[in-house]
């Protein structure tokens, strides 16, 4: 009879995380955006044709579409980019919708790029005024931007609809506050009359508020409450940032300068957190980090910085999930560490704390519990760690797939670690005879001595059990990539 070690020779499965390199935009969602022939991915109404890598409309009539159905999420924000060529006349509208109009009126050659919140699943181009020209190089990619105004473009809203019938809106005394041609038209018949937009926000989080066009009586016609901020709108548009100080931010839309009878029209209303998440990530639905204030994506440098604002754990979530009882390897590439806070990873039941170092770090764990969320962030365990931070270049999550191997260990004479990624077990009396070489992912071990001692101690423990039929299953603190007997 013999003693055996049972080891798991491992390999890594495909990447589980979405966007572990913190890119600003997702993968391409358009098929045949360069309009090759043959082409069955675009639906063409009368007047549209495809040839020479372009989709061309002949200007024969208004209100004709070319469209493609996409796998996109209504309410999410996407970057729509395309080129107009061979322009002759008319106007073109581009939208991510159910086929209804967007708010773009294009009447010249050029490359156009719009961040659009999807109101439907069609990428659609429409001749809105006998457009005569071509489009090419169409691209749609997911953005991390999260629009928190439900429908600030009023897409699909019928003319003369009272805005108070829509979600997030309430009025206090305007003569009328109707939607006309996808814009909000406010008309007063007295002083201090307004309609209010009520949006859930996170206290302490910075937001960007934009209105693309403000026409008519427009002097100081907007007011943000929580905090109180009267906005000068005489320029005809606004783009302002503010820090919310309550769970609900109220924006008041007046007619003119809040005095007497006047009319003001507002087009394309947007409110987004300035800490834009990279695509593939979301703000948690509960807890202290709803606004993502403790995590900052720098989309230009493609890094993610976590800051510990107080004692506790502050996580973000990835859109993908893990599987119960599967083993995973997390790789974390750290650019910078400030202070002594720890990296926090949810294993499905518990938060695992890791002391990071600059450079490559690894964490190997088994998915436990009922929570399949991929959730990670920063933990300040005491007041001295508050304000600490670390910056990640990338993060990776892969399933560890194991192939069990039985290794006989009778008559082991030596255990050595000749390189940073190998351990050699010699169980023969002559050097080089009956050698077993175990190769592992060297970056996952802290030292050669650690790995030699790990195997040596396991063999001694097995030998001391006085049970020659025992098989000792051990899981090294590394990924074993090869087991070779000679």
Give the tens place of pLDDT for each residue, 375-387.
999 999 999 999 9
Same domain as 292, residue 267: no
Q: Under a CB-based contact definition with an 8 Å cutoff, are residues 303 and 296 in contact? A: no
Q: What is the largest CA-CA distance in the chain?
A: 103
As a whole number of angstroms, the distance between CA 379 and CA 341 comes to 6
Write down the pLDDT at residue 468: 65
Q: Token digits for 424?
A: 């050699």
Which residues fall within 8 angstroms of residue 409, CB to CB, at 6 or more apart? Answer: 2, 3, 4, 5, 425, 427, 459, 462, 463
Same domain as 336, residue 397: yes
Q: Which of the four pLDDT bands, split at 50, 70 and 90, describes residue 469? A: low
Write down the pLDDT at residue 232: 87
Same domain as 368, residue 343: yes
Last residue of a domain, one of 115, 143, 171: 143
E strand segments, 19-76: 25-28, 43-44, 48-51, 54-58, 65-69
Whether 295 is in a domain gets the answer yes
Which residues fall within 8 angstroms of residue 93, CB to CB, at 6 or more apart? Answer: 101, 102, 103, 104, 105, 106, 125, 126, 128
Same domain as 288, residue 182: no
Write down the pLDDT at residue 2: 62
Comparing 22-31, 146-155, 328-337, the range with the smallest average pLDDT is 146-155
CA distances to 16, 29, 123, 298, 363 from 141, in Å:
20, 6, 11, 18, 31
At 449 the three-state DSSP class reads helix
Of the chain, the percentage scoring pLDDT greater than 70 comes to 94
Same domain as 291, residue 237: no
Q: How far is CA 233 from the centre of its chain?
A: 33
Q: How far is CA 339 from the centre of its chain?
A: 27
Q: Which of 168, 148, 181 is nearest to 253 (CA)?
A: 168
Whether 18 is in a domain gets the answer no
Write down the pLDDT at residue 290: 67
Last residue of a domain, one of 143, 170, 196: 143
Same domain as 137, residue 35: yes
Q: Which of 439, 368, 324, 454 is nearest to 11 (CA)?
A: 439
Last residue of a domain, one of 257, 273, 289: 273
Whether the full predicted model's pTM is greater than 0.85, yes or no, is: no
Same domain as 166, residue 132: no
Same domain as 264, residue 318: no
pLDDT digit string (tens) for 393-409? Answer: 999 999 998 888 887 77
| Domain of 305, in residue numbers | 281-401
| Strands of 92-97's sheet in order across | 43-44, 65-69, 122-127, 92-97
Over residues 87-96, mean pLDDT: 93
Whether 468 is in a domain gets the answer yes
Q: Token digits for 30?
A: 């358009």
Which phi and psi (to 5°) does residue 245 adopt?
-120, 15
Same domain as 256, residue 309: no
Q: Which of the four pLDDT bands, split at 50, 70 and 90, describes residue 97? A: confident
Q: What is the CATH number of the domain that holds 165?
A: 2.60.120.260
Whether 148 is in a domain gets the answer no
Q: Token digits for 120?
A: 């439907």
Which phi and psi (to 5°) does residue 442 adopt?
-60, -35
Q: Token digits for 258?
A: 């809040």
pLDDT exceeds 80 at position 291 = no
Same domain as 433, residue 449: yes
Q: Which of the four pLDDT bands, split at 50, 70 and 90, describes residue 100? A: confident
DSSP H helix total and E strand total for the chain? 1, 37
Whether 19 is in a domain gets the answer no
Domain count across the chain: 4
Whether 181 is in a domain gets the answer yes
Write down the pLDDT at residue 275: 81
Same domain as 256, residue 231: yes
Q: Which of 109, 112, 113, 96 is nearest to 29 (CA)?
A: 96
Q: How many CB atoms lie within 10 A of CB 101?
A: 19
**Residue in this structure with the two tokens 């510990």, named with its chain if needed:** 308
DSSP state of 452: H
DSSP state of 409: -
Same domain as 257, residue 285: no
Whether 11 is in a domain gets the answer no
Q: Under a CB-based contact definition with an 8 Å cutoff, are residues 256 and 263 in contact? A: yes
Across 70-74, 298-302, 369-373, the highest mean pLDDT is recorded for 369-373
DSSP state of 456: H
As a whole number of angstroms, the distance between CA 187 and CA 285 comes to 38
Over residues 77-87, mean pLDDT: 94
Q: Which of 202, 180, 179, 176 is nearest to 189 (CA)?
A: 176
Q: Which of the four pLDDT bands, split at 50, 70 and 90, describes residue 430? A: very low
What value does the CA radius of gyration of the chain take, rounded to a whole number of Å? 30
Write down the pLDDT at residue 1: 44
Whether 153 is in a domain gets the answer no
DSSP state of 31: S
Q: What is the CATH number of the domain that holds 391?
A: 2.60.120
**Which element (helix H / strand E) includes 455?**
helix 448-463
């Amino acid at each position: 009879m013999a003693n055996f070690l049972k080891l798991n020779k491992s390999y890594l499965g495909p990447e589980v995380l979405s966007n572990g390199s913190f890119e600003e935009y997702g993968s391409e969602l358009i098929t045949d955006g360069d309009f090759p022939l043959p082409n069955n991915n675009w639906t063409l109404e009368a007047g549209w044709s495809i040839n020479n890598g372009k989709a061309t409309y002949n200007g024969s009539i208004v209100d004709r579409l070319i469209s493609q159905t996409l796998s996109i999420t209504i309410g999410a924000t996407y970057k729509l980019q395309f080129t107009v060529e061979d322009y002759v006349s008319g106007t073109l509208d581009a939208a991510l919708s159910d086929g209804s109009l967007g708010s773009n009126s294009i009447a010249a050659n050029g490359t156009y790029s719009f961040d659009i919140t999807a109101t439907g699943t069609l990428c659609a181009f429409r001749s809105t005024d006998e457009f005569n020209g071509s489009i090419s190089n169409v691209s749609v990619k997911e953005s991390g931007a999260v629009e928190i105004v439900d429908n600030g473009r009023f897409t699909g809203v019928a003319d003369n609809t009272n805005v108070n019938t829509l979600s997030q809106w309430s009025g206090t005394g305007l003569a009328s506050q109707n939607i006309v041609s996808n814009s909000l038209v406010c008309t007063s018949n007295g002083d201090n009359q307004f309609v209010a937009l009520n949006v859930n926000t996170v206290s302490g989080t910075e937001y960007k508020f934009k209105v693309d066009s403000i026409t008519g009586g427009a002097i100081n016609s907007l007011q943000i409450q929580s905090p109180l901020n009267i906005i000068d709108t005489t320029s005809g548009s606004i783009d302002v940032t503010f820090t919310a100080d309550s769970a609900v931010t109220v924006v008041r839309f007046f007619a003119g300068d809040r005095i007497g009878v006047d009319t003001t029209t507002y087009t394309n209303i947007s409110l987004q957190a300035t800490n834009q998440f990279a695509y593939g990530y979301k703000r948690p639905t509960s807890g202290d980090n709803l606004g993502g204030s403790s995590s900052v994506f720098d989309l230009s440098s493609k890094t993610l910085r976590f800051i510990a604002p107080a004692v506790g754990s502050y996580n973000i979530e990835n859109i993908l999930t893990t599987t119960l009882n599967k083993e995973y390897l997390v790789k974390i590439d750290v650019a910078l560490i400030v202070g002594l806070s720890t990296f926090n990873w949810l294993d499905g039941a518990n938060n695992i704390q890791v002391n990071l170092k600059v450079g490559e770090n690894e964490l190997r764990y088994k998915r436990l519990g009922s929570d399949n969320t991929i959730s990670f962030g920063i933990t300040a365990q005491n007041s001295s760690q508050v304000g600490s931070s670390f910056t990640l270049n990338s993060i990776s999550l892969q399933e560890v797939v194991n192939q069990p191997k039985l290794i006989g260990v009778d008559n082991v004479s030596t255990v050595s670690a000749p390189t940073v990624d190998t351990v050699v077990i010699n169980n023969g009396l002559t050097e080089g005879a009956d050698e077993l070489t175990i190769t592992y992912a060297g970056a996952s071990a802290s030292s050669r001595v650690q790995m030699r001692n790990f195997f040596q101690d396991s063999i001694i423990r097995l030998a001391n059990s006085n049970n020659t039929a025992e098989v000792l299953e051990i899981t090294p603190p590394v990924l074993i990539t090869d087991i070779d007997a000679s």
